[in-house]
Structure 1
Amino acid sequence: MAHDPLAAVSAFATPQTRPIPGRADQVRNAAGGYVFGKDLWRKLEDFLILGTTGGTYYVTEDRLTADNAGVLFQAIAENGPRVVELLTAVSTARPPRAPKQRPALFALAACYAKGDADTRQAAKLALAKVARTTDHLAQFFGYYKNLGGKATARGTAPVAGRSMRTALGSWFLTGSPDDVAFKACKARRRKTPQGEAFDLRDVLRIAHPAADDEQRGTLFGWIAGNVADERAREALPAVHRFLTAKAVTSADEAVRVVTESRVPWEFLPDAMLREPEVWEALVDTIGMTALLRNLARMTRIGALTPMGDATRRAVARLTDREALLKARVHPMDAWLAMRVYASGKARPNPRADLQTWRPVPAVLDALEETYELSFGAVEPSGRRLLVAVDSSGSMSWGHVHAGGSPLGTPYEIGCAMAVMLARIERGDVHVIDVDTEVHASKVTPRTNLREIASWRPSGGGTDLSLPFTWASRKRLHVDGTVVFTDNETWAGRSHPAQAMEAYRREINPRVRVVVAAMTAAGYSIGDPKDDGVLNVAGLDASLPLVVNGFIRP
């Protein structure tokens, strides 16, 4: 009998180099396999969370940036107010969903520059929520100049119509006058993404907001230079503390105002923040989150040294269980702090010089204990999970960054998250590595997070149908499967969605699947029409809780 090529067409086992028959929503990924194209809004959400820094194994940073900018402008044209709603939700989520605020600020600037009247109205109401600091406002302003400004002999200039002036003014009118004064005192001047000077005084003159009470009027006058320091000091406690700090001329005076007057560290002159003894005093007074973020700085200038007194006190705070729980430090926050500190280097922005430091072993040990203690308030789902970490060659390329420090490859990030899930679920987790075969993972609930940095993926191609076919073959009954991947699958003889459906038919019809993307590539192995599949993206600090909540039903 002659071979019938049509007999090879199957909706149940289709090679990943071909689309599933009847599914017009599949697209070809950068590795040549077919996956599910994410819809416009999911692509936009991925961009807002992940950004495009560093690109991917297959796609350059410039190409990824251009692709995601195109997605953003398409979404604005389709439904601008919805874009504003989404970027605001991502920006203001607690715990944070995005490691950087810049994608949301760029999207907000694009809404102003390219949106219709309703979009600009929504953006106007969102500006003060998304651009919460002077640095955020400077970034927004710089992006807006590029997208909605006008060409001049010296470059570009902003076009500040009534809507923009009102939006900028809202930044000065949101919160109590003293709250706004605190933000202004923390940072009056910043740089835009283009490296241009940005001063709140200039913004105030552009916006010209009307003060709603005498105290706020005093603040506006002081920022503009029309109200004397003494009058502002009397009306605004934040200004009083700021001027007290700015009058400091020696490290001894700085230590005194920090310890006696509890002046915030952000108010101190920059010169004082380069003095080790000042940071030795601040170790006891700054908030827990600020302590975690400034460990590298303290080490770089010599405030934290091996066997030093400040190191001992910092370690005591980092290992104080009650203080950590009160500050709601998440395990992911602790892990990020440890990886940044252990990296020994950072470049906060492309224009800055590379900063380096030699990590103090006692601080690294304390951060590991911070990580351990931060699990105290996290409850397990009570469900059995299979966690699959994509260990193909593309997962070893490039580094995920936070605060300008390299955290590790996508494979390392996936393994670290797998450790967290294993720890949270207390033994009801099995972890595997996947390329074109299934490999035993080194991950256990007690994995030392330092070990992961030395791990390397097995390499080779990618077949993400394997977690499901392997579980079916092993007759492994799980309630949920979590896959950490860049979605560049191509090597399987069936699609992941087909293999998952087979697992449901044979083992557990109610299994749920979470696909955690390490890059903003715009597609996923997860079927968007399947209510039992959740597509998430990036270094979301709440990911373990998201998985917990999705798998629990």
Structure 2
Amino acid sequence: MARDPLARISTIVTSQMRRLPGRRDQVRNNAGGYGFAKDVWNGLEDFLILGTTGGTYYVGEDRLTADNADVLFRAIDEDGPRAVRLIVDVSTARPPRAPKPRPAVFALAAAFARGDPGTRQAVKAAFPLVVRTTDHLAMFVGYLKALGGKPSRNGSSLVAGRALRTTLASWFLRDEPDAVAFRACKAMQRRTPAGEALALRDVLRIAHPAAATPAHRALFGWIAGNVGDDAAREALPAIDAFLTARAVTTPAEAVRVVSGRRVPWEFLPDAMLREPEVWDALVDTVGLTALIRNLARMTRIGTLVPLGDATGRAVARLTDAEALLRARIHPMDAWLALRVYASGRSRPNPRAEVQTWRPVPAILDALEETYELSFGTVEPSDRRLLVAVDSSGSMSGTWGGRLTVGGSEIGSPYEVGCAMAVMLARIERGNVHVIDVDTAVHASRVSARTNLREIASWRPSGGGTDLSLPFDWALRKKRHVDGIVVFTDNETWAGRSHPSQALAAYREAVNPQVRVVVTAMTAAGHSIGDPKDAGVLNMAGLDASLPSVVNGFLRSR
């Protein structure tokens, strides 16, 4: 008897190379299998947190960027104010949800350029919250010229209407005049993403902020070049400190200013920031976050050396539990700092030369202790978790897909997924079991005590991808877990059933209340997580809020 072709149609077991019957919301992923199209808001959140630098195993950087820009534009067209609220949430969260600000600043510029009047009003309110530094301001202006400017002989120019003037003016009016002066003095000139020089004076002339007080008038006049240094010094202490710092001509003078006036490193002339003894003094005065961010610089110029005095003082600060708590250093911050420093290489600007340094072992050890100490206030969920890390070939970072922070590679999606799994294991205090999956289930080397430097040498098992396996494994082993967390690029294709079908089988046989968190390691625009399933949450990898979100999601059953 001939086989009935209708017998191949099943809502219980369907090959991942075929769309689930009746689910028109499934799309073909980059590996040829089918997953659920992320809605525009999940896609936008992935872009804001993950960015598109480096592309993925399957998709080049240019196409991935274009795809995510399209998602951003659709979000703005659908509900511009909501898009702006999401940008603000990602940009201002504590701990920070995104390791780099560029996607959020680009998205805000796009919302201003493409949004309706209501969206532009939302951008005006959000602007000083997202665009906090002169560097951010230069990004915004550069992106806006590309997205909403008018053609000119030199590329494009801004159309400085009232809405734009008011928006830019909010940067100068957000805080008390001396606080604005302090921020302005840190960087009076920056370059836009396209490489154009942008002086703060140029932005001020476009914005024309209203000077409500004599201090405002002194500040704006000084930036514009219409008020002399002496008058500005008298009105604003930050300008006095800045001018004092800028006047130094020798390292010894710079050290005296740093020690006596405790000026930030950004106030000093560029030539002084190449002097090891100047950074020797700054080790004791800069904020803890600034210290962590400048470890590579201090190593490169010779301030931090093996057995050095400055190295010892830096180590003491990095391992001060109370200071770390006050500075709200999160385990993700510490891990990212460790990976960036250990990389020994950075290129934050594609047009600049590559910067290299030889990491000092004592600093690496201190950053590991920073990581350990930063768990002090993170509470466990008291739930049993199965954590699955996708170990297929596409997670290896080969042919693209290496995740970067500040121009430094921090690892492949697999390495980062394992690091996040270690953090969850550490937080949950023994209530976590971790597995690797490709087209089979493999034992993972992850434990709560895994040394973070070990992970850099780990390689995924490779091969195809079957993301139904975590649920199949839990079903076969009859493991009663409260939550399943999957770290993946969502490029599944090799299974005989879809992950959502395997999850349904597990719920039917073992735990109907199990919740699932699908953590995307790339901004690919699709997921194994069924958007119609209230017990499934889609998140982005590198999101520092992941442990607390997982905690809350599991507790809210």
Report runs of 4+ in structure 1 exceeding 6 Å deviation: none
Is 2:451 the counterpart of 1:451? no
Q: Is the 8 A contact 2:391 2:437 kept in 1?
A: yes
Moved more, 412-421 or 203-212: 203-212
Q: TM-score, normalised by structure 1?
A: 0.99
User: Gaps spanning 5+ residues in structure 1: where?
Assistant: none
Aligned to 2:194: 194
Aligned to 2:123: 123
Aligned to 1:333: 333
**Which letter maps to 1:436?**
T
CA distance in 2, matches of 1:112, 1:337: 33
CA distance in 1, matches of 2:160, 2:72: 22
Secondary structure of the equivalent of 2:448? Answer: coil
CA distance in 1, matches of 2:145, 2:202: 15
Secondary structure of the equivalent of 1:388? Answer: strand
Aligned to 2:549: 546
CA distance in 2, matches of 1:122, 1:319: 41
Aligned to 2:8: 8
Secondary structure of the equivalent of 1:271? Answer: helix
Q: Is the 8 A contact 2:95 2:328 kept in 1?
A: no
Aligned to 1:174: 174
Alignment of 1:213-224 (within 5 A): 213-224=213-224
**Which letter maps to 2:358?**
R
Secondary structure of the equivalent of 2:227? Answer: coil
Is 2:434 the counterpart of 1:431? yes
**Which letter maps to 1:376?**
G
Q: Is the 8 A contact 2:138 2:191 kept in 1?
A: yes
Is 2:231 the counterpart of 1:231? yes
CA distance in 2, matches of 1:285, 1:375: 25
Aligned to 1:132: 132
Q: Is the 8 A contact 2:518 2:539 kept in 1?
A: yes
Aligned to 2:70: 70
Q: Is the 8 A contact 2:487 2:541 kept in 1?
A: no
Deviations 1:471-492 (A, max 9, x none): 1100111110000000000111
How far residue 76 of structure 1 moved from its aligned partner, in angstroms, is: 1.8
Q: 2:484 aligns with which of 466, 481, 486?
A: 481
User: Gaps spanning 5+ residues in structure 2: where?
Assistant: none
CA distance in 1, matches of 2:149, 2:236: 35
Q: TM-score, normalised by structure 2?
A: 0.98
Is 2:289 the counterpart of 1:289? yes
Deviations 1:450-489 (A, max 9, x none): 1101100000000000000001100111110000000000
CA distance in 2, matches of 1:123, 1:469: 46
Moved more, 463-472 or 77-86: 77-86
CA distance in 2, matches of 1:36, 1:416: 26
Q: Is the 8 A contact 1:31 1:490 kept in 2?
A: yes
Q: 2:510 aligns with which of 502, 507, 512?
A: 507
Aligned to 2:378: 378
CA distance in 1, matches of 2:376, 2:149: 50
CA distance in 1, matches of 2:59, 2:333: 29
Deviations 1:476-513 (A, max 9, x none): 11110000000000111111011111111111111111
CA distance in 2, matches of 1:57, 1:340: 22
Aligned to 2:243: 243
Q: Is the 8 A contact 1:98 1:538 kept in 2?
A: no
CA distance in 1, matches of 2:233, 2:218: 10
**Which letter maps to 1:113?**
A
Deviations 1:367-392 (A, max 9, x none): 11111111111111111100000000
CA distance in 2, matches of 1:429, 1:120: 46
Q: Is the 8 A contact 2:44 2:72 kept in 1?
A: yes
How many positions carry a matched residue from both structures? Answer: 553
CA distance in 2, matches of 1:549, 1:93: 16
Is 2:319 the counterpart of 1:316? no
Secondary structure of the equivalent of 2:270? Answer: coil
**Which letter maps to 1:489?**
T
Q: 1:414 aligns with which of 414, 417, 423?
A: 417
Deviations 1:218-277 (A, max 9, x none): 110111111111111111111111111111111111111111211112211111111100
Alignment of 1:363-374 (within 5 A): 363-374=363-374
Secondary structure of the equivalent of 1:307? Answer: coil
How far residue 79 of structure 1 moved from its aligned partner, in angstroms, is: 1.9
How far residue 24 of structure 1 moved from its aligned partner, in angstroms, is: 1.4
How far residue 516 of structure 1 moved from its aligned partner, in angstroms, is: 0.4
Is 2:24 the counterpart of 1:21? no
How far residue 20 of structure 1 moved from its aligned partner, in angstroms, is: 1.1
Aligned to 2:475: 472
Aligned to 2:389: 389
How far residue 287 of structure 1 moved from its aligned partner, in angstroms, is: 0.9
Aligned to 2:353: 353
Is 2:261 the counterpart of 1:261? yes
Alignment of 1:500-539 (within 5 A): 500-539=503-542
Secondary structure of the equivalent of 2:456? Answer: helix
How far residue 122 of structure 1 moved from its aligned partner, in angstroms, is: 1.7
Q: Percent identity?
A: 75
Secondary structure of the equivalent of 2:365? Answer: helix
How far residue 154 of structure 1 moved from its aligned partner, in angstroms, is: 2.1
Deviations 1:173-219 (A, max 9, x none): 11111111011000110000010010111111111111111111111
Aligned to 1:461: 464
CA distance in 1, matches of 2:310, 2:415: 32
Secondary structure of the equivalent of 2:532? Answer: coil
Moved more, 201-210 or 462-471: 201-210
How far residue 531 of structure 1 moved from its aligned partner, in angstroms, is: 1.0
